[in-house]
Every structure is written in structure tokens, then in C-alpha cells.
Structure 1
């Protein structure tokens, strides 16, 4: 009998956990010849998430397991911890807020078993219910990263997916500290099919993903899977250097042709200095972003620290 491990990162989701388990269990229990285990990962929640996980584990000790971090390490760390703990033949990753339709699980399992796929992923075809500004930023992120990165990331792709043990092991073999799972899932390759669905509202609670957090997450993704920003800084530096050489030649020729002319235009000179100074700071900042990631990786700190595991 095959075994399916379901990995569920949780952060302040005390209301969603019982609803999630009930909804998913009603679906997976109907799948023949499939044993299921749940791995909830409490990412340093400040509410009663851990209490709800204890209650669920006490009710289903053989089926429901959880990991609780010593503090909030972020969703990527929770995902990684869950994948490490899961020991099923197949592993599914889901959000606890039920925005990932559990009714897809039987179809995922059938496709991955019979159609020679290594991964069945999902993607949203719309963002109904979200602000237009957040939707715009999200669409632009996918447009940009797919133009500047060799790793293709499907627009609207979710973390919600079912993977074979072979693909999970490949994902776990990447030990990088700053993780961007959507990119990692694509980078490791393997044959993947995407199921499409319309956006679903949260079943309970409020999302912790503000526009600013999503923006920072997007910048991390770009830094992880593209070196184009470094190339941009080189081209900006080269362009400003060429312009400055042209300006110097122009001043020298003008001085030769019109010896009596005086230097003028201090306001424009100040603007040019500010422009070049700004470009330098921008380029230094881009380089610093990459160096900072190297520095963090070189410390070899653990991606997460477990306080409790059952």
C-alpha cells in the first residue's frame, strides 16, 4: 500500500487547523489503497496553534504528527522541515487555510500513479478577492523573473503539489539557507503537470502575507535564480563611465575652440553628480545583496530549530 505524506506549514492558524483536517480527511479516506499521514509544522505561532495540534495528535496519534519551531523561521523553513520529516512514497504540500482545494488530491494521486508524472502542481488562473495592486505586482514578478532567469516559473503556480519520493529527495538535496521553493521545484526538473483552478478565499483567519512581505519574497526569488541584476549594475557603470568621458572631451574641445569661455552650469553639474552617485549606490546595493546571501550561507546556520516534535 502506498503512503501519502501531507505537509502543512502553519503560522497563527488555530481556527483553520480543525477545519482543514476535517475537509482533507473526508477526501483522502475515499482513495483506495492509500495510507495517509499529516505533518503540521508550527512556525513559531503566537496564538493557540500548538494547542490545536496537540489536540489533533492526541485524537489521531498514528496519523497526525507535528513539528514546532523555537521561533518563527518563515514558511520556507517550515516547508523544508515538513519535507524532511515526511516519509511517504508521495508527498503533498498544502496551505492550512483551504485555499488549496483538497478535492484535487484524488486526481493528483491518479495522475502521478498512472501517467508517469513526477509532480502534479496547481496554478491559479485568477486572483479574485485580492487587491488589484497586489495582483498587478504578482503578475509583473512572474513576467520579470521568467525573462531574466533560466529557470521557468509558471505564472500563478502554488506550493500546493504532490511529488514522488525521488523529486522530494532532489529538493531536499539543495541545502541553501535562503530558499525560494517555487523556483526550487522548477529548477530540480522532473516531469510536471499543472491543474488550474480559480482563486479560493481563506476558510478562516487572516493572511500574514502583506504586500511588503510579498515584495521582499519576490526580491529573494530574483536574487536566488538570476544574476541579471549584477549585469545591470555593470552596464549602468559602463554607461555612466562612457558619458563622463564624452563630457570631458566636450569640455576640453570647447576650451580649445573658445579659450575665453568660462565654466558654467553648476546646477546641472550637481544633478550629474547626484545621478552618478545614485547609480553607484544602486550598483553597490545590488552587489551587496548577493554578497549578503553568500555571508549568511557561509555561517552554516540551521534553516530551523525544533522545540517539539510528535
Structure 2
């Protein structure tokens, strides 16, 4: 009885969108694998992200099957993978979370490897490193490469495959990460920024059991969004604790440009040149005022951060 009480509880979180044909095989595969992991107790949590196929009926059927504990959440409308994850994480009270996609490309055989890694001292987040990838769409491959390369250059991320859907983390870590639209791709990076120990395990990705990927936009918009998201995360990482270093630099440069323009015009005025009404005059005033405002915003942001630390 004492051993049972010491078992860690794990929730396998699976966001799904129009994956009806994969749900039962995935659940059965998970049940087979967790039978070998007697040191843990498992539950499976499906988040049905507004599927338009018969996923709801299939999930209701799975809930009546013999196997490990299973529950599901159904969203009325498709909100995207990040929102589906957030809805699921809010309801989880277990010790650890394993995330995987609903297409059976993530093989539950690797549960043991993920759990062994996350049990190491100082490790609170583990992400898979796919040694092979079956993404057919070139846009997905390129955008993923851009995200991984940008993360390594800007932030020094040690993660090779940040967008892998197969992850494990402590529930505390998952609930501490603030997610906005499409930030599920950057969970390992965000966990690292929050101060959690991040590691990775090599995995081999399987071909989809059935159907095609329903999540993920393709095209030029995906490239642009990846770059903008990475820049946003970089500035959060670089300046969130000392915002005046960002606002101060921008404000000083802007104020200096405005002051230089006004100084140039003032010197010209001494030599009899007309100033008022010139576009350059108004530009100088605008830059000087804007620079002062940016500096003031930076000071307010710095005070806000310091007060939050004290609290």
C-alpha cells in the first residue's frame, strides 16, 4: 500500500482536431505501454478542439472502454492547438504531464525514456528530438528550421527540435508558462526562460496512422509568424527583468536624433536661415518629445517590475 501511495500521477494530454480515425488506436497503444510502467498511475486527457468529424462520438465510446482512466474536454469551436493545451492544463492536478499529438506519429514506447529523463535532478521539461521527420509540407519544414535556428542564435537555446509535439513536464512548469496564440511551438524555450531545467531525448517519428495533419497553417504567413514570434520571445527573454535597458536605449537614440536636428537648425538660425515651418523643424521636435516619452515609459516599466519582485 505504501508503494501505491508513492506513485506519481501522470496525465497524458492530447489535443485533437478531426482525428476520429486515430483516437481508438492511440488510446489502445497508450494502454499497452503504461502497463509496463508500474511506478506511475496514468490518465489520458483528450481535448477535442471543435472537431467537425465524429471525434466526440469516438471519445465518448473510448470513455466506456476497459483501460486506464480517460476523460475528455470538448470545445464548441476550433480554437487552435495552443488554446486546446491551455484548456487541458487548467484541469490537470497530477504530478507530471506528457503531451503528444493525436496522429500516432508520437510513439508511446518512448514514455519510459521521457520519464527517466525528467526524473533526473534539475530537469523539469523534456522535449523529443526527432531523428527523422515525416512532414510532407515544405513550408512546415522550413518554418521549423527557422524557429530552431533563430532560437539558437538569439537566445542560445540548446534544443534541436523545439516544435516536436512529444513533450513531458512537471505540472508546475506547465501551469507557470503564459501561452498566447501559436506559442505551443515554443514551450521548451518558454520553460527555459522561466528558469526550468530543459532536456531532450532522441525519438523516431512514425508515419501517420491515418489521414493528414489538420493543425498548422502553411505558406508565407507561417514564415512571418515564426519570425515575429521568435523576436517577441527574444525581447521578453532579454528585457523583461530590466525593461529600462530597452526603452532607455530606444528613447536616448530618438531624443538624441531630435536634439541633433534642432541643434543643426538653431545654428542655421544664427546665420540667418529660416527655421519655422520647415519639415525638419517639426521632425526634430517630434523626435525629442517621442524620445522623452519612451524614456518615461521605460522608467515606469522598471518601477513596475521592481514592485512585482518585492511583492
**TM above 0.5:** yes
CA-CA distance at 1:184 after TM superposition: 2.4
Counterpart of 2:157 in structure 1 is: 152
CA contact (8 A) 2:8 2:39 kept: yes
For residues 85 and 20 of structure 2, the distance between their equivalents in structure 1, rounded to whole angstroms, comes to 18
- 1:224 matched to 2:232? The reply is yes
- 1:22 matched to 2:25? The reply is no
- 1:179 and 1:187, CA in 2 relative to 1: closer, same or farther beyond 3 A? farther
CA-CA distance at 1:6 after TM superposition: 0.6
- 1:77 and 1:129, CA in 2 relative to 1: closer, same or farther beyond 3 A? closer
Q: 2:98 aligns with which of 92, 98, 101?
A: 92
Counterpart of 2:127 in structure 1 is: 121
- 1:225 and 1:87, CA in 2 relative to 1: closer, same or farther beyond 3 A? same
* Number of equivalences: 257
Q: 1:168 aligns with which of 174, 179, 194?
A: 174
SS of the counterpart of 1:15? Answer: helix
Structure 1: unaligned runs, 5 residues or longer: 246-310
Counterpart of 2:42 in structure 1 is: 36
For residues 41 and 23 of structure 1, the distance between their equivalents in structure 2, rounded to whole angstroms, comes to 18
CA contact (8 A) 1:129 1:201 kept: no
SS of the counterpart of 2:64? Answer: helix
CA contact (8 A) 2:10 2:96 kept: yes
Q: Calculate the TM-score normalised by the size of structure 1.
A: 0.66
Matches within 5 A, 1:121-270: 121-128=127-134, 130-132=136-138, 134-148=140-154, 150=155, 152=157, 154-157=159-162, 158-171=164-177, 174=178, 177-178=180-181, 180-181=183-184, 182=186, 183-208=189-214, 209-212=216-219, 214-215=222-223, 217-219=225-227, 221-227=229-235
- 1:54 and 1:139, CA in 2 relative to 1: closer, same or farther beyond 3 A? same
CA contact (8 A) 2:128 2:167 kept: yes
CA contact (8 A) 1:151 1:186 kept: no
Structure 2: unaligned runs, 5 residues or longer: 1-6, 237-245, 262-311
Counterpart of 2:286 in structure 1 is: none
CA RMSD of aligned residues (A): 4.4
Please give the per-residue CA displacement for 1:73-105, whole angstroms capped at 9, x wherever unaligned: 100001111111122111111101112121110
CA-CA distance at 1:135 after TM superposition: 2.3
Which one has more relative contact order, counting CA pairs under 8 Å at least 6 apart? 1
Please give the per-residue CA displacement for 1:93-126, whole angstroms capped at 9, x wherever unaligned: 1101112121110122233235552122212234
